[in-house]
Structure 1
Amino acid sequence: MRKLGYGLLIAFLTLIGVWVALLIFLPDAPRTAKPAEPLKVRQNGASAPALGMPVAGIRREALSDNWGDPRDNGLRAHHGTDIMAPVNTPVLAAAPGTVEKLWTSAAGGMTIYVRSPGRDWVYYYAHLAAYAPGLHEGQAIKAGDQIGFVGDTGNAGAGNYHLHFGLTRTTPEQHWYEGQDVDPYPYLAGKPASR
C-alpha cells in the first residue's frame, strides 16, 4: 500500500511539473482574428464621428491597437483599448450618454458604464482610481465631461496606470453587461485598425 501511495504522489508531482513547464515555455496564445472591417458605429440611425479622447492630454497618435492581445497567459483575448497615463489623470466621456452603472469588479476594478442616447452602445471605462465627484447612476453626461480618474484598480497590476476603454454594441433591451464587444481603436484613433 505504501508503494502505491508513493507512486501516486510521484505521478501527481510529475503532472504538476509538466503543467508548470508548459506554462513557462509555451508561447502566448495567438491574437484572435478580427473581422475584416470594423463594425460601423451608429447612434440613432446616423454614423457617429470618431469618439472623443477619453483621457485628458493624450493625443490620438499616442494610441496603440491592443485589441485581441493575449491576457492571463493566453486564456483570454483583450477586448478594448488601453490608454496609458499618469495616475489621477482626468478620464473624460468619449461620447454623450447616461451613466448606467458604477461598478467595482475583480477584473475591471472601479468601472463606469455609459449608455448612448439611442441605447444601442455602451462605453466602458475601467481601472479607475476614483469617480469624478458627484458622478451617479442615471446622470446625463456630454462628450468631454470629466467622469473619473486614471488608476490601476482591478487586474491592471499595481503601478500599471491606464484607462481600459471598451465599446459594446447593444440593443435597448439588453443590460449594461450584455452585447457584442467592438474594437474601439478605429473610433478613438480616427483611422482603421492596424491589424
Structure 2
Amino acid sequence: MSRLGWIILAVVVVVAGAFLSMTSFGSTERRTSRVAVAASAPDAEPAPERPGQLVVPVAGVRPSAIADSWNDPRGGGSRGHHGTDIPAPGGTAVVAAAAGRVEKLFRSGLGGITVYIRSPDRRWIYYYAHLAGYTPGLAEGQAVRAGQSIAYVGDTGDAGEGNYHLHFGMQRMQPDQRWYQGEDVNPYPMLAAAAPTR
C-alpha cells in the first residue's frame, strides 16, 4: 500500500474511534435517567449518629441555613404553620431525614405532591410537601435510609408559583394510627441539631 493509502487508513481509524467513543450502545433512557438523578442529587449529609437528630432533608443545605417557622401565620392568619420550610432551587434533591418506610405518596391542595415516611418503630411520620416529583422508582412500602434521595424540591400545592421550598413536617404517632392521624411536632430543633458534633 502506498504512503497516501496508509495516511487515509489512519485518518479513517481515528475518526471511527472518535465516533465510537461518543456513542453508547446501551439503553439511552437508562443512561439519561442516571445522569439526571446524579446531577440533581448531590451527596446528602451523613446519617445522624445521635437519637433525635435528623439529616437535613434538602441536599446541600446546612442546619445553620434553616429558620424556625413553626406556628407562623398561614392562610391569612387562620392557622399556624406546622412544619419547617427549607428554601432551595427547584429540582434540588430532597432526601430522607431519617430511615423508615414510605407509607403514602399523596397529592393534596395544600401540600401538593407529598411523601409520608414512617419510622421503623411506627412512632413518627416524616412529611415532605410542595415537591416537584418523586425520585424514579419511589413506591409505597419501600424502605428508605437516612440521606437517600426520595424527591425534588418544587412549588406544588399552595406554595405559590416559583416559591420553591420543601415543607418538612413531623407527627408523633401511635403505632395503630394512619398516616394522617398524628400529632404535629416542631421539627426545627431536630434539624438544627443536625450539625456535626466532634
Q: TM-score range by the shorter chain?
A: 0.7 to 0.9
Distance 1:102 1:94 in 2: 16
SS of the equivalent of 1:181 reads: strand
Q: 1:98 aligned to 2:87? A: no
Match of 1:152 in 2: 155
Match of 1:107 in 2: 110
The Cα of 1:123 is off from its aligned counterpart by 0.1
- Show CA shifts across 1:60-87 (max 9, x none): 0000000000001100000000000000
1:186 to 174, 184, 189: 189
Q: 1:127 aligned to 2:130? A: yes
Q: CA RMSD in A?
A: 1.0
Match of 1:142 in 2: 145
Letter in 1 for 2:75: D
Match of 1:168 in 2: 171
Q: Which stretch shows the higher mean deviation, 174-183 or 47-56?
A: 47-56
Q: 1:71 aligned to 2:74? A: yes
1:53 to 52, 56, 59: 56
SS of the equivalent of 2:85 reads: strand
Larger Rg: 2
Match of 2:24 in 1: none
Q: When the two structures are superposed, what TM-score results if normalisation uses the length of structure 2?
A: 0.72
- Show CA shifts across 1:20-41 (max 9, x none): xxxxxxxxxxxxxxxxxxxxxx
Distance 1:79 1:129 in 2: 20
Structure 2: any 5+ residue segments left out of the alignment? 1-49
Q: 1:86 aligned to 2:53? A: no
Distance 2:189 2:124 in 1: 15
**Percent identity of paired positions between Structure 1 and Structure 2:** 61
Letter in 2 for 1:110: I
SS of the equivalent of 1:147 reads: strand
Structure 1: any 5+ residue segments left out of the alignment? 1-46
Runs in 1 of length 4+ with deviation above 6 angstroms? Answer: none
